[in-house]
Amino acid sequence: MSTISYLTRIEFGEGQVARLPELLGVLGVKKPLIATDKGLVATGLVARISALLSQPFAMFDGTPANPTEEAVLAAYEVYKANGCDGVIGLGGGSALDLAKAVRLLTGHDGPLAQYALVAGGLARIHGRICPMIAVPTTSGTGSEVGRAAVIITAEGRKLGIISPHMLPSIALCDPELTYGLPAGLTAATGMDAISHCLETFMASAYNPPADAIAMDGLRRGWGAIRTAVSNGADKAARNDMMMCALEGAMAFQKGLGAVHALTHPLGAIRSLNLHHGTLNAVLMPAVLRFNRSVIGAKWDALAAVLGDAPDKAIAELNASIGMPSGLKAMGVTLAMMEQVSHEAMKDHCHATNPRAATVEDYLAIMKEAA
């Protein structure tokens, strides 16, 4: 038996961000907290979007590249101090995940680790929390339609806090907001979206709708990413990349796998602060090879979309859009790999990889991707 459920309200299309005041009204939000980051503030985009609002609002722009419990608590203090009654997550996956965690705290006491899926947190999360609108400005994590907030907790672990109640009330997806995204960030976030489609499709759970959505997202992302990287103003490519991100996250409720089991603890290495999508890209060819023996006809289905053996096609794509040559080039040492191989076994994505992995397997995958 499989339980299959979908999702949240999605408003998608160019210019849709102008509807933000209307949608806040629909949710009854009179004073939102805008959760974002300093980089996005510097682009002027935050000012442009906040200018749409006629009501008062508060802002937290201290989201780090990998969101931390410390930052979540700081943002929640801003929320409380200003009497906010809703949250707008504005930015990439980090800002959206932080916003989700702030929203969680409007109805739950800390610390956050108790709500992690691996700690049995699903049963502790209820829906008596404030409304939230997610406004993505990258095409990567799909957090705007995801049930998870991935946070580095006070203990230093990068954990998934997962519940249907974590879904934003409304996802406001406007591809125009990605037009100015630099090529490097377009590539890294795009590979995040593509990795979600790939891993979800490979996961062994029975969920044909998720498989179909993942493959549509993969076709769109595969066909668009090179153009989006080389010409960020290409409207069709930007539209398809945002849809790829959206569909990857709609599908990954089916489960992810070894790529994410590894990238979560790798992303928690504070001395490196590595980008999640870049890590996914670098690890994907080795994980594809690891899974090949158990995914059967799915390997051929992926090859039909990618035009070559999946591991080879992803490796060639990585090189063409400027992804790092391997983990060592990103500063990951053997000692770090050894530690991460143990942490990966505890990650919630470990259980849904189609081929069971051991500590030794995870270490071998990282060495292969080094």
Are both 275 and 354 inside the same structural domain? yes
* Opening angle at CA 353, ends 312 and 171, nearest 5: 90
Strands (E), 57-189: 58-60, 86-91, 132-136, 148-152, 158-162, 170-173
Q: Please check whether residue 22 lies inside any domain of the structure.
A: yes
Which of 123, 149, 177 marks a domain boundary? 177
C-beta of residue 136 within 8 angstroms of C-beta of residue 176: no
Are both 212 and 259 inside the same structural domain? yes
Q: What are phi and psi of 87, to 5 degrees?
A: -130, 140
Beta bridge partners of 207: none
**Size (the chain), residues:** 370
Q: Please check whether residue 1 lies inside any domain of the structure.
A: no
Query: 4: which 2 tokens?
Result: 């299959």
Q: Domain range spanning residue 138?
A: 9-177
pTM for the complete prediction?
Answer: 0.94
Own/partner pairs, 178-182, CB within 8 angstroms, 24+ separation: 178/137, 178/138, 178/139, 178/232, 178/238, 178/241, 178/242, 179/232, 179/233, 179/238, 180/43, 180/45, 180/232, 181/137, 181/138, 181/232, 182/232
Are both 124 and 250 inside the same structural domain? no
Are both 102 and 141 inside the same structural domain? yes
Q: Please check whether residue 31 lies inside any domain of the structure.
A: yes
Burial (CB count <10 Å: 0-12, 13-18, 19+), residue 13: middle
Q: What is the pLDDT of residue 2?
A: 58
- In the β-sheet with 170-173, what is the strand arrangement from edge to edge? 9-12, 170-173, 132-136, 86-91, 32-35, 58-60
C-beta of residue 317 within 8 angstroms of C-beta of residue 305: no
Are both 24 and 148 inside the same structural domain? yes
Are both 107 and 247 inside the same structural domain? no
Beta bridge partners of 138: none
| Domains contained in the chain, number | 2
Rounded CA-CA distance 70/330 in Å is 25
Which of 177, 208, 224 marks a domain boundary? 177
Q: Please check whether residue 268 lies inside any domain of the structure.
A: yes
Are both 190 and 132 inside the same structural domain? no
Q: Please check whether residue 230 lies inside any domain of the structure.
A: yes
Q: Please check whether residue 2 lies inside any domain of the structure.
A: no
Q: Scanning the structure block, which residue is given the tokens 């907001």? A: 177
Output the domain CATH number for residue 117: 3.40.50.1970
Q: Please check whether residue 3 lies inside any domain of the structure.
A: no
Which of 125, 152, 177 marks a domain boundary? 177
Are both 161 and 13 inside the same structural domain? yes
C-beta of residue 35 within 8 angstroms of C-beta of residue 95: yes
pLDDT mean values, one per 10 residues, the chain (370 residues): 72 95 97 97 95 96 95 98 98 96 98 95 97 97 94 93 95 95 96 97 94 97 98 96 96 93 95 95 98 97 97 98 97 98 96 97 98
Q: Please check whether residue 4 lies inside any domain of the structure.
A: no
Output the domain CATH number for residue 306: 1.20.1090.10
Are both 154 and 190 inside the same structural domain? no
Are both 215 and 360 inside the same structural domain? yes
Contacts of 297 (CB under 8 A, 6+ apart): none
Q: What is the pLDDT of residue 236?
A: 97
Which among 161, 137, 157, 134 has a CA at the least distance from the CA of 149? Answer: 161
Are both 167 and 185 inside the same structural domain? no
How many Å is the maximal CA-CA distance in the chain? 57
Q: What is the pLDDT of residue 4?
A: 63
Query: 263: which 2 tokens?
Result: 């990238």
Are both 108 and 233 inside the same structural domain? no
Q: What is the DSSP letter of 168?
A: -
